[in-house]
Chain A
Amino acid sequence: MTTFYRRFERHDHAAGLKGETTHYCPGCGHGLIHKMIADAVEALGVQDRTIAISPVGCGVFLHYYLDVGNSQASHGRAPAVAIGHKLANPDAVVVSYQGDGDLASIGLAEILQAAQLALPITVIFVNNAIYGMTGGQLAPTTIMGQKTATSPRGRDRGMGQPLRMSELIAQIDGQAFVERVALFDARQRKRAARAVEKALRLQVEGRAFSFVEVLAECPTHLGLTPVEAERWVKEQMVPVFPLGVKKDLGADAAPPFEWPTPSFDPGRVLAALGGPAAAPERFCDGFPRTAFGDDVGLKLAGAGGDGAQTAALLLTKAAIQEGFDATHIPSYGPESRGGTSYADVRIAAEEVLSPAAPHPHVLVAFNAPSLARFGPEVAPGATVIYDSTVVPAPASLGPAAAVIGVPCTAIARELGQPMVKNVVAVGAVLGATGLFPAATLQRALRQALHARPALLPVNEAALARGIEAAGRRPAGGTPTPDR
């Protein structure tokens, strides 16, 4: 029996008899199940590969006993811990060992997900119809009428019916083996041992999720002798929790799970991230000499589908490729309820300090609410561009130096692609401010559309039309609607 530690050093430093006996009460079913696991591990020759996950409950000290890799989980989470171990090393044989409070109450979500994922791990579920460790309280599997510390008059209707976990697990789709066994006589013990071994074998072969529910005796909290407790399980529990295989849809024949091999190859990693970025050519001759200094703030605002965010990202990418620092923050804040989605862009020679642009140097407004909301907030000397197809000419915008109406929507319609009105607007920003040469944005467009090259010509045309439309505007403080 080499799968047990010869001395249980972890059991209170193995002082005295604790080095060779379990902490379990006399006649407790846990010890029998430990032995079945140990035997199965040994029969399958997987002691080195096995990891036992101890639960919270009387089985919490499983790691005192089983000479395998051991991991101790928090209450109910052993299946999640088991999944972590299994995916870390699919070669490991991972056994989640859990009681009824652990698995069928606090850990319901975790066990159901483990069954749903149906990864080849093994769950041994010890159902003794009571909370042992905490002193005999009501379990989700306590049977009707059974008296416990928290059902002193017996389980009644108001406490719900006992949960049949094996049946619950068995009805979940996926490759799984589910069996309920018991320990109350020699025949049942042989069956139980076979089920445990099969469950582990299916995992070793990588075929299926395996779940074995064991009806076990807790003589202490039943207030019975161990032999009486065996009889109680047979007579009281078995009618509620029928024994047998609940699911075995050819688990033996299921194809083994295929596990990927993790790659750390730098080339592969870079390719997965979209390829290494080549140091790009620069079209700008130094930081743009606009009227806005070395830290330019832009705000692009419109309704959800106006493409303000895409336009903002284009400008951000273009700036970074020119070797400047730039940021983009989208905002779908409370304003979005009024139909406004806005983006703040900052472009700085060295470092963007604040990424927000509450008082932008350049405002692009795709609709009237955006212009009304942000127009009065622009920085002195700002350039304001609005879509004059849909926004009436504003009366006055106070400190703004240039208020330019560009018929973004109309131009996009003319080009046969209403979606590109945001690119028209980007072109207008270039035309009105001289922020970047056209080539900078043409490259950004090419990159953005590399997967949809058919859209490139219309976008390039939109950019050119925007530059032209805004470039024709005279600089000055008077609103000059296009039509």
Chain B
Amino acid sequence: MTRAAASARPALRPELCKGCNRCVDTCAQGCISPGGEVDPLTGLVPIDLSLDACTGCGLCVEACPEPWGLRFDDGAPPPAAAAAPRDLPGEQLPLPGGGALVLKGAHASAIGALLAGCRHFFGYPITPSTEGAELMARVLPGLGGHFVQAVSEVAAVNMIYGCGGAGLPAMTFTSSPGFSLMLEGISYLIGAEVPGVFVDVMRAGPGLGNIGPEQSDIKLLCRGLGHGNTRAIVLAPATPQEMLDFTLLAFRLAFAYRSPVMIAADGYLGQMTGRVHLPGALVRPGLPAWAVHGDAAHRPNLISSIHLAEVDLEAHNERLQAKYARMIDAEQRADLYRCEDAELLLVAANTPARMAKGAIRALRDEGIAAGLFRPQTLWPFPVRALRPLLERTAALLVVEASDGQLEDELRLALSHAGAGAGIPIHHVRRMGGVLPSQREIVAGARAALAGRARA
């Protein structure tokens, strides 16, 4: 307390006085004067106090910028240490079964978020991701939730930081240019270990580009989540059903790892309508022990990514590295289609993976043993599932709607794993809002195998 009983008098430990002298002139009784001696502990010159005439008015205390500088000793005992907060677990509430729903990918993802217990959406409209946001805007108010259209993607990601920091599931829908704007904030989320789910409905770039589908952000998602040593799980759905399932999963992973989780969707997938089954339960979220929730239990907590001392920041980085290692170990996911006997392995994610599936059927009809290796996590790349397939593989064919961003992930993963040496890697790529067509993939596959025959 600044003020105290009239009889009380200010007290000062000289080593806590910085000698700013802001208090000196406030004392009408002249009790305070600039000091004359350097304090040996601080090297500063504290004030001189002589309190004979002090009336206890407290103006000097109000003038002192130091919390434990000039003050009335209120005699209050130091507060008892608060009990350490505990995790309040979430709950699964059963959903009645029913028939299949017919949903757009973006809507399926939004519904996944709602079923994951997300009641907070923060975003900025950007095509082709707006359908997801619009569903949230329609539904959230009726469920006691909050939809905030932020002033920009920069604000949106920081609202997620606040809401996630408070321990609640929060999300956004965005598309490539908006995702670029969010990267600084995502680095803060990773650094401060704040959960949040980002659905990036990737569109064609660079720059304003167009609103056609592209897998344009794979390098950002896997290698470029803002500044610093950042990594986050990147889920890559290929169907409306996976848009729902992966969004649900993303929230679970975000809280399990205290980390943002990315969902890489492409423009087609957001717009694609398909068959979607709801899960058997929805989630009522809990409240993690680490949250800064604004209540007594969580008062001791701090959400922050600043570690001023190099040793502290390095230790923090080491902790994050250990977390990334756990993700690499536990979260690799892949879908294998007709890989059992495949000598040509197509590698593709998102909608291009479906074009690739169509091509595989056509290739099989021609007698070519082709299979599809579909990473469902772009990071960590599911190299563990790929490795055993390589023994039979004569060639890899990466099918993607980008300039080779998926292929780079594949090559890095193979190289780190010391696998795949000698297996040629071919590609079918489209850019600019165009997906590789089945016909192009079939032609690419034939060429890949013909190349091998010549070699």
Name A's B-contacting residues (CB within 8 A). Answer: 1-2, 4, 6, 10, 12, 17, 20-22, 24-32, 34-35, 38-39, 42, 47-51, 53-54, 60, 63, 65, 67-74, 77, 80-89, 91-94, 109-110, 112-113, 117, 185-186, 189-190, 193, 219, 225-227, 230, 260-266, 268-270, 272-273, 276-280, 295, 313, 316-317, 320-321, 325-330, 333, 352-356, 358-359
Interfacial chain A residues near B437, Cβ < 8 Å: 356, 358
Cα–Cα, bound, A4→B284 (Å): 35
Contacts of B154 in A (CB 8 A): 77, 80, 109-110
Q: Which residues in A have their C-beta under 8 angstroms from that of B19?
A: 26
Query: What are some 25 contacts across the A-B interface (CB < 8 A)?
Result: A25-B18, A26-B20, A26-B44, A35-B65, A68-B299, A73-B162, A80-B154, A85-B162, A89-B293, A109-B154, A112-B151, A186-B59, A261-B144, A264-B284, A277-B100, A279-B99, A316-B273, A316-B274, A328-B273, A329-B271, A329-B273, A352-B354, A353-B358, A356-B355, A358-B438
User: Main secondary structure on chain A at its contact with chain B?
Assistant: mixed
Alpha-carbon separation in the docked complex, A193 to B102 (Å)? 59
Q: How far is the CB of A385 from chain B (nearest CB, A)?
A: 22
Q: Interface-forming stretch among B164-172, B316-324, B382-390, B421-429? A: B164-172
Q: Is the CB of A189 within 8 A of B1?
A: no
Instruction: For residue B116, give the distance in angstroms from its CB to the closest CB of chain A.
Output: 10
B78→A6 contact, CB < 8 A: yes
Interface segment out of the listed B135-143, B214-222, B444-452: B135-143
Query: Is B33 in the interface zone, CB < 8 Å from A?
Result: no
A328 B158 Cβ-Cβ under 8 A? no
Name which residue of chain A comes closest to B72, CB basis: A1
Contact, CB under 8 Å: B271 / A330: yes
Query: Could you say which of B44, B285, B293 has the most chain A C-beta atoms within 10 Å of its C-beta?
Result: B293
Cα distance A193–B98 in the bound complex, in angstroms? 60
Give bound CA distance, A318 to B44, whole Å. 82
Chain A positions within 8 Å of B361 at CB level: 295, 353
CA distance A69 to B290 in the complex (A): 11
Q: Which residues of A contact B102 (CB under 8 A)?
A: 313, 316-317, 320-321, 326
- List chain A residues, Cβ under 8 A from B355: 354, 356
Taking a contact as CB atoms under 8 Å apart, the answer to whether A84 and B268 are in contact is no
What residue in chain A is nearest B145 (Cβ atoms)? A262
The answer to whether B143 and A2 have CB atoms under 8 Å apart is no
A355 adjacent to B354 (CB under 8 Å): yes
Taken residue by residue from 321 to 365, chain B's Cβ proximity to chain A (1 for < 8 Å, 0 otherwise) reads as: 000000000000000000000000000000100111111110000
Whether the pair A22, B145 counts as a contact (CB closer than 8 A) is: no
Residues in chain A near residue B249, CB distance under 8 A: none
Q: On chain B, which size bracket covers the interface?
A: 35 or more
In the complex the two chains form, is B302's CB within 8 Å of A71's CB?
A: yes
Answer whether residue B115 sits at the interface, using C-beta atoms and an 8 A cutoff.
Answer: yes
B23 to chain A, nearest CB (A): 10
Pair B155/A113 contact, Cβ less than 8 Å:
yes
Pick the contact of A69 from B78, B99, B293 — CB < 8 Å?
Answer: B293
Q: Are B66 and A84 in contact (CB under 8 A)?
A: no
Instruction: Give the 4 A-B CB pairs with smallest separation, nearest first.
Output: A84-B162, A92-B294, A354-B358, A31-B65
**Contact indicator B158/A27 (Cβ below 8 Å):** no
List the B residue with the shortest CB-CB distance to A444.
B102
Q: Which residues on the B side are within 8 Å of A190 (C-beta)?
A: 62
Write the residues of chain B forming the contact surface with A, with a CB cutoff of 8 angstroms.
Answer: 1-2, 13, 15-16, 18-22, 24-26, 41-42, 44, 59, 62-69, 71, 74, 76, 78-79, 93-102, 111, 114-115, 117, 119-120, 122, 139, 141-146, 148, 150-152, 154-156, 158-168, 170, 184-185, 188, 192, 212, 240, 268, 271-275, 282-285, 292-296, 298-299, 301-306, 308-309, 351, 354-361, 433, 435, 437-439
Among candidates A48, A86, A325, residue contacting B296 with C-beta atoms closer than 8 Å: A48
Which residues of the partner chain A approach B155 to less than 8 Å between Cβ atoms?
77, 80, 109-110, 113
Q: Is the CB of A21 within 8 A of B62?
A: no
Query: Are A277 and B68 in contact, with the CB atoms below 8 A?
Result: no
Q: How far is the CB of A18 from chain B (nearest CB, A)?
A: 11
* Residue pair A88, B162 in contact (C-beta under 8 Å): yes
In the assembled complex, how far is the CB of residue A269 from the closest CB belonging to chain B, in whole angstroms?
Answer: 6
Q: Is A2 a contact of B294 with CB atoms below 8 Å?
A: no
